[in-house]
């Protein structure tokens, strides 16, 4: 027994909407001839499942997304220019503010990113997606967090319980309940050894061990021992 897949290309005559059509029942191919479905043939709903595809790539009417405004129309989000005309049609479920010439957009429950020209650079396949900050954005897949750069390329794999935005070139990361710091390429800079940490500021960060807080430098060297209830600066 084999599982048999048919795509839209083989069912153009079936009146199916755009997407992949997956046969859900096993079909024995032995001694059977597979033919193209004739025009007008309807495939029973009990046999097929239609998986909706992401929205098509959009060719905007302007070259810089920073000059557009995110607006909602009948519950769908798009972007308009200074004349109030849609440069990016309202096809998205949600849309975040422009940041670093990118916009996080949500479609069919998943997130992706439009680039400066309004093209869907990162497909809407992400569980969560932050706005870009300092050239990087945090993303979540399969319940784990990672990071992408301004081209949409993965620079930190989706392996972590939590991630903070880049601060002074370092990323606070939580792995299996312990915190440490990564660089922007995903290499471990300061080991996962802390109950909690703050982001780096002026070359220093707070860390928590045994319920008490101390201060470290960028090398992970202890400047002030963990003996305080909290730290702020």
What average pLDDT does this structure show over 47-74? 67
Residue 139 resides in a domain: no
| The 178-183 sheet, strands edge to edge | 162-163, 170-175, 178-183, 188-194
Whether residue 222 has pLDDT greater than 60: yes
Q: Is the dihedral of CA 183, 188, 189, 194 positive or negative?
A: positive
What average pLDDT does this structure show over 153-182? 97
Whether residue 33 has pLDDT greater than 70: no
> What is the residue range of 87's domain?
54-132
Clarify whether residues 71 and 28 are in a common domain: no
* Total structural domains within the chain: 3
How far apart are alpha carbons 192 and 173 in whole angstroms?
8
- DSSP conformation class of 230: -
Clarify whether residues 180 and 228 are in a common domain: yes
pLDDT tens digits, one per residue of 87-115: 999 999 999 989 999 999 999 999 999 99
3-state SS, residue 121: strand
pLDDT of residue 8: 35
Residue 151 resides in a domain: no
- CATH number of the domain at 86, please: 2.40.10
pTM greater than the 0.75 cutoff: no
pLDDT of residue 63: 75
pLDDT tens digits, one per residue of 114-162: 999 888 999 999 999 999 999 999 999 999 999 999 999 999 999 999 9
């Amino acid at each position: 027994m084999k599982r048999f897949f048919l795509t839209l290309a083989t069912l153009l005559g079936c009146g199916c909407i755009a997407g992949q059509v997956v046969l859900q029942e096993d079909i024995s191919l032995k001694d059977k001839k597979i033919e193209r479905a004739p025009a007008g043939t309807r495939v029973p709903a009990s046999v097929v499942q239609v998986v909706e595809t992401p929205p098509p790539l959009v060719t905007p009417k302007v070259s810089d997304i920073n000059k557009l405004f995110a607006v909602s129309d009948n519950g769908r989000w798009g972007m308009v220019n200074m004349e109030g005309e849609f440069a990016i049609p309202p096809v998205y479920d949600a849309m975040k503010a422009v940041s670093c010439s990118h916009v996080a957009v949500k479609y069919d429950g998943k997130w992706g990113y439009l680039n400066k020209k309004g093209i869907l650079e990162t497909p809407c396949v992400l569980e969560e997606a932050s706005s870009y900050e300092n050239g990087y954005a945090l993303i979540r897949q399969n319940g784990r967090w990672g990071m992408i750069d301004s081209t949409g390329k993965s620079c930190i794999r989706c392996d972590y319980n939590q991630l903070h935005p880049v601060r002074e070139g370092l990323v606070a990361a939580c792995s299996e309940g312990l915190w440490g710091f990564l660089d922007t390429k995903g290499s471990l800079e300061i080991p996962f050894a802390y109950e909690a940490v703050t982001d780096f500021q002026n070359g220093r960060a707070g860390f928590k061990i045994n319920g008490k807080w101390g201060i470290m430098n960028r090398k992970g060297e202890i400047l002030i021992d963990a003996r305080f209830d909290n730290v702020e600066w």
